[in-house]
Structure formats: C-alpha cells, structure tokens
Amino acid sequence: MGETIEKIDTKEMNAMIEANLPLVKHIVLQVAVHFPRHVEREELARAGALGLVEAARRYDESRGVPFDRFAAQRIRGAILDAVRAADWAPRSVRTLARKLEATEQRLASRLGRVPTIEEMAEALSMDTNELNRLRDRMFRSVVLALEHEVSDDVDDDLTLVDVLVDQAAIEPSEELETRELHAYLRDAIALLPDRQRLVIIGYFLEGRTSQDLARFLGVTESRISQIRSEAIQMLKEGIEAQYVAKDDEEPRPEPRGRSARRKAAYVDAIGERSEWHDRMDQITLIESSAGEVPVGVPLS
C-alpha cells in the first residue's frame, strides 16, 4: 500500500483532486438536507475537500475501484466526521429531530400551511407536553459557531460574537447610571423623616422584623407597615422627580397644601444634597448608618 502511494506523483494527485472537485459540491448538496440550517455549507465543503485530498493520497488503483467511487466515500465520511466533532447532541436527539422535521414537512404539504402543535403531536402519537419537551431538547442541542451570521442585511455583516452579551461585564454608561441612582437613594433615605428612615433602614438593610420595629417605636405592627409604605412612596416619587427635565424658562407652579409643599421640599433637598460628580464617585449602595438617627441600636 505504501509503495503504491509513493508511485503516484504530486502532479498526478493534483490532477485527480482538481478533476473531482465538482464531486465535493455534489455530495455536500446530498448530505446538507439532513442538517439544520445553522450548519454552514461552506464548512461542509471544506471538510469534503479535505476528504478528497485524503482520498487522492490513499487511492490504490490496483484494487480496481474507480477513484470517484472511492473518493465519494472519503468525502462523505469527512463531512460527517466534521459535523459530529462540532455537535454534542446525542444520536437519539438527532433521530427524533429528523422524524419531527419529516412529519412537519409531510403535514405542511397535505394541509397547505404550517401544522399546529396539536396536529404535530397527533401525527407523532404523543401529547403536546411530550412534543414540547422534545423540541426543547432539540433547541438546547443546537450549537452555533461564533462566526455564524445573524443578520440578513449584507451591509451589517453581524456575527454571533458581535451580538452576544457578556453578563459579567457592565457598560460604563450603565455603571454611571447605577451609581447615580444609588446616590439619589442614599440621599433620599437620609432625608426621610426620622421614623420613616429608621423603619426603611431597619427593615431593608438590617433585617429587622416588623415586630422588632414596632416594639422599639412603641407602635403596632400595622402602623410599621403603614410607615414603610409611606416611606417607599416618598422615596419613589422623590427619586423619579430627579430624572424629570426641568424647564428653566417656565417656573414651577407653587405647591398648594401642606403635604404638597412638604413633598416639593423633599424633592428639592434630594437634588441639592450632593453634587453630580460626588454621585459618580460613590460605589456602595448605602451605609447602614445613613442619616442622623442611630440605626445600629438594639431594637429589643
């Protein structure tokens, strides 16, 4: 075998490869119909071409097998090996996927439309829950290359790596927005009335129960719940007001009523408590000792 291979010179081997390149394209078209759409045909062609080169290197004319038949087996095998190497889905899932696709095509041809999930389940002799589980296994078995194009627009040329989001990384703009929001929250909590501030910090930051807070303040648990709700509403309105664009040309109407004036003063105090650059420098959400009322005292 080795002596036979040595007798085939490079020029003859190259001629065999060039003459049979159309065979690669033909086999790719044959096998591609059995693979999902995300499997790139160019990748199959490259694997097939490598199989053709390997066939030319290993061909033994003395065995009486025509080269195109010998090469076709090598090309098909190289393509299948390449696909298996890039696919971790078990063979059972692939078999079920082919069965599902064939059934869907058969029903679509007969009905003249895409079959419903119920029609598919009936044709496959399974219930809809079982069919949904099968589809879920199929979708989770799809492995896309990072170079897989995700845009139909030829001008975009976006690949999967361009659109994947790194959940561990934070965009600088998002980081600044978060710092600003946390700073407003710190200031808003510090400016709450004493009882509301104590309840918010005790309940949300120190893990105190409503019973602990009620005993410390000498009120009922329902009153603690009411104070907490009022404080949360004040925080919500006070912080949201900081993001409302202010029109310098039109003066803000004077608030009417004691409650409205108190809310307006609270909103203004939040905006004036710290400068914008100080808000950007802050990283931690809030210190447990925010405000003038000592919140670290035992509540029992």
Look up residue 185 and give its two tokens. 């929250």
Q: 206-210, 222-226, 266-270, 282-286: which range is least confident on average?
A: 282-286
* 159-188 core/surface letters (b: 16 or more CB in 10 A; e: else): beeeeeeeeeeeeeeeeeeebbebbbbbbb
Short-list 69, 25, 31, 66, CA closest to 49: 25
**Which domains does the chain carry?**
2-85 (1.10.1740.10), 91-163 (1.20.140.160), 172-281 (no CATH)
Query: pLDDT tens digit string along 109-165?
Result: 887 777 888 888 888 888 888 888 877 766 565 555 555 555 555 555 666 556 565
Q: What single string gives the DSSP state of each residue in 246-258?
A: P-SSSPPPPP-SH
Residue-wise pLDDT for 199-256, tens only, equals 999 999 888 999 999 999 999 999 999 999 999 999 999 999 888 866 555 566 677 7
**Residues 58 and 5: beta-carbon distance below 8 Å:** yes
Which 3 state secondary structure label does DSSP give 233? Answer: helix
Question: Is 148 or 179 the better-scoring residue by pLDDT?
Answer: 179
Q: How far is CA 275 from CA 56, 119, 284, in A?
A: 75, 64, 17
Tokens of residue 129, six digits: 């829950």
**pLDDT over threshold 50, residue 296:** no
Rounded distance between C-alpha atoms, residue 271 and residue 262, angstroms: 15
Looking at mean pLDDT, say which of 80-84, 116-120, 130-134, 185-189 comes out highest: 185-189
More confident residue, 292 or 194: 194
